[in-house]
Amino acid sequence: MHVSQLPLTALRAFEVAARHLSFKAAAAELHVTPTAVSHQIHQLESMLGVVLFERLHRGLALTAAARSCLQPLRNGFENLAQAMDALSEFREMGVLSVSAPPSFTLRLLMPITHQFLALHPEVDLNVTTRMREPWLASRSAKDEASVLREWVDTSDVVILFGGKPPLDVEVRELMPLSITLLCSPALLEGKGALRKPADVSGLPWLHDERGLKYGGMSFWQQWLRAAGIESSTPDRGHRFTHAALAIEAAVRGEGLVVTTPALCRAELAHGTLVAPFDISVPLEASYYLLARRGAPPRVRAFADWLCGALAR
């Protein structure tokens, strides 16, 4: 059989199932369903015209045909892994790939990356933006784990917003988060000014959609509840998928935003945004940094630096 015809996915399923003698255990390792593993094995058996497993009442047993090819197959996968490691040496010489949410990248990461590069001039940063999809977790933890595993396998560092990811990789919480109401100081002056929490009903609302997407309750609903304010229209106002857009609208004085002050450090320091009330709500969601176990020193150096920089 020519190498271009090799059914690599099915062969991988066979090797894992043969190692565990269980489709269920193989599915867990591969982050797929047992039905998917069974289907891959059936396709491989049909292609080869041989039976690879004896389906027994209490599990699986390898046939003579399966035993004859298993070790060469494992050697082949080991050779593939070594080839990938050899290629990755070139990638690892100086490039550090970072994948992070758009708003985190714009408002927290990019303003300070020059500090890391000054400490590590030998490193070239490759930064991409990517958002975690909450519908994957609601559909299946295995589906989300499979997607996140692919992200970690293709980027040196992955930063996520939401709950702690269900992966057996190095995971660090970058910082605890809370939400509060922020606005332009211009909205604290003149007719209709914001003077007490109840006054929020008379001003436009801007929605940072992360609360609804990742926690099931909007940031505005959480803040109103903490402030003891009842509203028949807690979802009124303008909506923004990216927190950065809601924050920029608030800076321009277009309304009030309930968001994470961690993304507004510069605006709060310069006074272009203010927190008029001492009402904050801790979040269960956070920003997490993920990296492969045993990652190169430059990855550990970046993770240590970022945790320290965000803690200051």
Domains of the chain plus CATH, in order, are 3-90 (1.10.10.10), 95-175+286-311 (3.40.190.10), 178-282 (3.40.190.10)
Question: Which residue, 307, 31, 295, 309, is CA-closest to 170?
Answer: 295
Give per-residue pLDDT as tens, 39-82.
Answer: 999 998 898 899 999 988 878 999 999 999 999 999 988 888 88
- Confidence bin at 158 (pLDDT 50/70/90): very high
Q: Who has greater pLDDT, 142 or 114? A: 114
Query: Which pLDDT score is estimated for 166?
Result: 80
- Are 198 and 181 in contact by the 8 Å Cβ rule? The answer is no
Q: For residue 118, is pLDDT > 80?
A: yes
pTM score: 0.69
Q: For residue 165, is pLDDT > 90?
A: no
Give per-residue pLDDT as tens, 90-100.
Answer: 555 578 999 99
Which residue is associated with the tokens 């293709």? 154
The CA R_g of the chain, rounded to the nearest whole Å, is 26
- Report the C-alpha gap between 45 and 64 in whole angstroms: 13
Query: Which pLDDT score is estimated for 32?
Result: 85
- Are 32 and 141 in contact by the 8 Å Cβ rule? The answer is no
Q: For residue 304, is pLDDT > 80?
A: yes
Q: For residue 134, is pLDDT > 80?
A: no
